[in-house]
Structure 1
Amino acid sequence: MIAKDSIQTDSPVGKSDHCMINFDFCCYFNNEKTSGDRFSYFRGNYELFNESLNNINWDVLLSNKNVEEMWKSFSSVMSENIDRFIPKKKTIRKFISPPLWMDRATKSAIVKKRKSWKKYKYLRNNLPYAKYVKDRNECTNAVRNAKLSFEQKVALESKINVKSFWNYVNSKLKTGSGIGTLEKPDGTLASSTADKVEVLNQFFTSVFTHRGDLKDYDTNSESNNFLDDINICQEDVLTKLNKLKTDKSA
């Protein structure tokens, strides 16, 4: 479905004498926009944050609790202090990310071409048209060279920087990845992120194997088993680091 309010005319593509028509065609599911208030962590007052945490008696707060209860207490304290000492900012996504090959010079050439086209449409004579043709050819060459240069760079670094290669490959896909609308057990549809998480969580927990012989670990109990013979040298750490794969998460 084409949104009527999104139809706009723009300068022709390449050497064509036909105007380009831009419009929004809705054919896929809509992901939720990540807009609203977000924490601005780089502007936080971490001196007061640390002072507030140091004033808490953690031994008393976490005593006589199992792991789940300790985590809830710790998480509650952190959330409260984040709200107190970390400011928020409004974020609204108003633009589409430019292509990966787009650089400043290419963007300037595109803007220059569009300005020349608008001027020609307004004046309708040979002088602005000649200026538009000149800017159009420069824009075409700039786009072609930017794409070629970027693709050559990605190809040369594909063995070293695998993430950059697959990032460019995925940018060429016409469809975006995501989770569509899910059906709840009662037959209604889950469209929000929270509802989708709840539906998936209920499904995955339903196939888990429940064991009744597992007991909570007693945090107050003492153990005589100590790990006191750890031997880590610089060579071992360097060997492990050299074996890490940059294209893997672990």
Structure 2
Amino acid sequence: KDRGQVKSIVRTLNFRKANFQLFKELINKTPLGMALRDKGAEQSWQIFKDAFHRAQELSIPRCKKSGKEGKRPAWLSHDLLVELKGKKRMHRQWKKVLVSREDYRDTARFCKDEIRKAKTWLELNLARDTKNNKGFYRYVNQKRKVKESIPPLMSKSCKVVTTDREKAEVVNNFFASVFTGSLAPHTSQGNGPFDGDHGGKGPPTLSEDQV
């Protein structure tokens, strides 16, 4: 990695600590009537925007924008974080031959076991807490690496659609037919839920009548 590279920090407006009363007073004190006189639409908008941004900078502070990189995993407690920092510090010392390889290896194994235990306890608590469905599914979705997509669908004209827009139209037409009464009766011909399967050859296609 390039050690001389400067890491950029994104800062955003912190509306929780904003002084909206000061913002209102600054806008009211701005002589917009005189400033916008005999000005065109584009020039008037630029003058108003500059006044708005000046009042915003004086009344609304900024804070560091939090992202996924800055968020601590749910299983990472404060004590475990201290242990991991100690492991990192010992790794630097081992590189400088200040500690033995055995000491660093024992510390690394201890941290690995603690991480495994912390993840196990988190999953066990989520499984026991049946009322916290949001937390459970949020954790499951974070663990999923591949998002399942809708398979190819077959329209009423027996045309296989693969794009998202075409799939949305097929599904929309199907649900609309439920209320208009134009839903065709479901017939099963032994092909299973997917048409055009042909013994596993080719992509599975789902017809409108089988959604």
**What TM-score, normalized to structure 1?**
0.38
- Structure with the bigger percentage of helix: 2
Q: Which has the higher contact order (CA 8 A, sep 6+)?
A: 1
